[in-house]
Amino acid sequence: MEDYSAPYEEHGTTEETESISLARAFGERSILRDLVETLVLALVIFFAVNALTGRFYVRGSSMEPSLHSGQYLIVSKLSYRLGDIQRGDIVVFEPPNGDGEDYIKRIIGLPGEQIEIRDGAVWSNGYRLEEPYVNSATPYSGSWLLGPDEYFVLGDNRANSSDSHSWGPLPGKNIVGKALLSYWPPQHWGLAPHQRFPSMQDQE
């Protein structure tokens, strides 16, 4: 009597082996595809974040007491595509004197305004600005008429800042973005200390 069981079992074992091999192949392809998709997504997010924001390192004391040397800030490059530049905003920009290093200052004057500095204070179109973020009187004087796309920027540390009082109005095209928050060191973590001013119309 012939034994037919051995070939049948051998045939079944071959099919199971092939199924396991295919499953492993598909599993490996799935893992590889997931890794590639994750990497592509990470790159997209990285480039999107870098296109919309930037990092800025505060050097020097020109923005004391609002910002301190050694702070790291996140700067939004999108803010002024969605809204207008406001008086009191802290902005990062390329200085018109072209020394190759970005500056950070506060917007004090807006396009078309007459800015005066006298009696230790800043005046815009004849109105004195209340500036709670400075801790001493402005130690210089002068008058500037801003053009259609020009801004007047000053450091909060008026006695030690290279800004519009020394090199003139800032062209709007030079503004890189608006400071959003400080993320290092931990003791200075928080939103950038912008200042809101009433509009000139509200003061009339």
Could you write out the DSSP letters of every residue in 95-155?
-TT--SS-EEEEEEE-TT-EEEEETTEEEETTEEPP-TT-SS-----EEEE--TTEEEEE-
One-letter amino acid identity for 202? D
Q: Binning pLDDT at 50, 70 and 90, where does residue 203 land?
A: low
> Residue 2: what pLDDT?
46
**Model pTM score:** 0.77
Residue 105 pLDDT: 98
Count the neighbouring beta carbons within 10 Å of the beta carbon of residue 120.
13
The rounded distance, in Å, linking the Cα atoms of 75 and 6 is: 74
Higher pLDDT, 152 or 26: 152
Q: What is the mean pLDDT of residues 52-56?
A: 80
Is-contact 97 113, C-beta < 8 A?
no
What tens digit of pLDDT does each residue of 27-37 get? Answer: 556 777 777 76
Q: Which pLDDT score, from 0 to 100, does residue 98 have?
A: 76
Say whether pLDDT at 46 is over 90.
Answer: no
Q: What is the pLDDT of residues 112-170, one digit of tens each?
A: 999 999 999 999 999 999 999 998 999 999 999 999 999 999 999 999 999 999 999 99
In what helix (H) or strand (E) does residue 161 lie, and over which residues does it extend?
Answer: none
Q: What percent of the chain has pLDDT over 70?
A: 76
Q: CA-CA distance, 31 to 35, in Å (whole number)?
A: 6
Q: With 50 as the cut, is the pLDDT of residue 92 above it?
A: yes
Please give the positions annotated as active site.
62, 105
**More confident: 113 or 10:** 113
- Region 83-99: mean pLDDT is 92
Confidence check: pLDDT of 14 > 70? no
pLDDT of residue 33: 74
